[in-house]
C-alpha cells in the first residue's frame, strides 16, 4: 500500500510571519493523522523558520528547487547539503514554472534528481503537458519523454525514494482541474512506464501525486483513483483550513 503524500508548494508567496502563522494553523488543524504524509515547501529563505516550527511534528519540510552541484561559484543557488542541513526531507524538481520560466530541461532535472538522492532527500519530480500538447493528442508522448529524460540512468534501487507529480500545465493555478478519469489515465500510463524502467514491483511502490488546482471540494474524488497517491497543492496550500481539508480527504 502506498501512503499518500500531500505536499504544499507555496511558490514565491508568504512572508516570515504569515509562514509561521500558516504552519501553526496547520499544526492545530491536522490532528494526528498518521495515514498520510504531509509536507510544506516554503520559499528557501523561510525554510529555517518553518523547519523550526514543525520540528518533531508529522509535517515534513521540503524545498522548491536546488542546484545539482555540492558547492561553488553558483550565485543565488542552494545545494542539497544546505537543504538537508536545514532539515529538509523533500525537494520539488522540474516544476513546470521552472521548466517554462527558468529554462529547466529534462537533462537538468535529471542532474538535480541524482544530487538530491545522493544527498538523502526525497525528490518530487514534476511532469505535465501543456494545453496545446493535450489538444494535439501528444500527452502520452510528452509525459513519456519527460519521465524517460528526467529519470535517465536512475536504478531500480534509487527509484524506491522517488515521488512523481503529474501536473498538467493547463490545470496549474487556473482553477481547471483534470477530471479524475483524465488524471488516472495519465497516472496509470506513468506507472506502466515506471514498470518498464524499474520492474513492476518497483513501479508499484512509487508514489505518483496529482497537481493542478486541487481544492477541498475536488480532492477526495481525485485521491480515490487507484494510481493517484497524493497531491502537490499550490494555491490551496496557502490557507491552513483548505490544506488540512485536502489532507483529510487523503486519509
Ligand atoms: C503547483 O504549483 O504545483 C500547483 C499544482 O498549483 P495549484 O494547486 O495552484 O494549481
Q: pLDDT of 24-47, one tens digit each?
A: 999 999 977 789 999 999 999 999
Of 8, 9, 239, 242, which is best to mutate to test ligand 1, by the most ligand atoms within 8 angstroms of its C-beta? 9
Of 233, 239, 245, 246, which is best to mutate to test ligand 1, by the most ligand atoms within 8 angstroms of its C-beta? 233
pLDDT of residue 32: 73
Cβ–Cβ < 8 Å for 91, 66:
yes
Question: d(Cα 100, Cα 130) in Å, to the nearest integer?
Answer: 10
Measured in angstroms, how far is the CA atom of residue 73 from the centroid of ligand 1? 32
| DSSP 8-state secondary structure symbol assigned to residue 1 | -
Cβ–Cβ < 8 Å for 218, 242:
no
Measured in angstroms, how far is the CA atom of residue 230 from the centroid of ligand 1? 13
Class of domain 5-250: alpha beta
* C-alpha closest to that of 211 among 249, 181, 183, 192: 183
What is the enclosing helix (H) or strand (E) of 209?
strand 207-211
User: Residue 188 to residues 47, 114, 125, 192, 213: CA-CA distances in angstroms?
Assistant: 34, 24, 16, 6, 20
pLDDT of residue 67: 98
% of residues, the chain, pLDDT over 90: 95
Measured in angstroms, how far is the CA atom of residue 89 from the centroid of ligand 1? 20
Catalytic residue among 67, 68, 95, 187: 95
Tell me, using a 6 A CB cutoff, whether residue 94 lines ligand 1: no
Kindly indicate the confidence band of residue 173, based on its pLDDT and cuts at 50, 70 and 90: confident
Q: How many CA atoms lie within 13 A of 61 on its CB side?
A: 23
Known catalytic residue: 95?
Answer: yes
**Tens digits of residue pLDDT in 95-131:** 999 999 999 999 999 999 999 999 999 999 999 999 9
C-alpha cell at 119: 544527498
Amino acid at each position: 500500500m502506498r501512503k499518500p503524500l500531500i505536499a504544499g508548494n507555496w511558490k514565491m508567496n508568504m512572508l516570515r510571519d504569515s509562514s509561521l502563522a500558516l504552519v501553526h494553523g496547520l499544526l492545530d488543524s491536522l490532528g494526528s493523522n498518521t495515514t498520510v504524509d504531509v509536507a510544506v515547501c516554503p520559499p528557501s529563505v523561510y525554510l529555517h523558520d518553518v523547519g523550526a516550527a514543525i520540528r518533531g511534528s508529522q509535517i515534513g519540510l521540503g524545498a522548491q528547487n536546488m542546484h545539482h552541484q555540492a558547492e561553488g561559484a553558483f550565485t543565488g543557488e542552494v545545494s542539497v547539503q544546505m537543504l538537508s542541513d536545514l532539515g529538509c526531507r523533500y525537494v520539488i524538481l522540474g516544476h513546470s514554472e521552472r521548466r517554462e520560466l527558468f529554462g529547466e530541461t529534462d537533462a537538468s532535472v535529471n542532474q538535480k534528481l541524482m544530487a538530491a538522492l545522493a544527498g538523502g532527500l526525497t525528490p518530487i519530480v514534476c511532469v505535465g503537458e501543456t494545453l496545446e500538447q493535450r489538444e494535439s493528442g501528444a500527452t502520452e508522448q510528452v509525459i513519456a519523454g519527460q519521465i524517460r529524460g528526467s529519470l535517465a540512468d536512475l536504478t531500480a534501487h534509487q527509484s524506491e525514494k522517488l515521488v512523481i507529480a503529474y501536473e498538467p500545465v493547463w490545470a496549474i493555478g487556473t482553477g481547471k482541474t483534470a477530471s479524475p478519469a483524465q488524471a488516472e489515465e495519465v497516472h496509470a500510463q506513468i506507472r506502466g512506464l515506471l514498470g518498464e524502467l524499474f520492474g513492476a514491483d518497483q513501479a508499484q511502490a512509487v508514489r505518483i501525486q496529482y497537481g493542478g488546482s486541487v481544492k477541498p471540494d475536488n480532492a477526495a474524488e481525485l485521491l480515490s483513483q487507484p494510481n493517484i497517491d497524493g497531491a502537490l497543492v499550490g494555491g490551496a496550500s496557502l490557507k491552513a483550513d483548505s490544506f488540512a481539508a485536502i489532507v483529510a480527504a487523503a486519509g
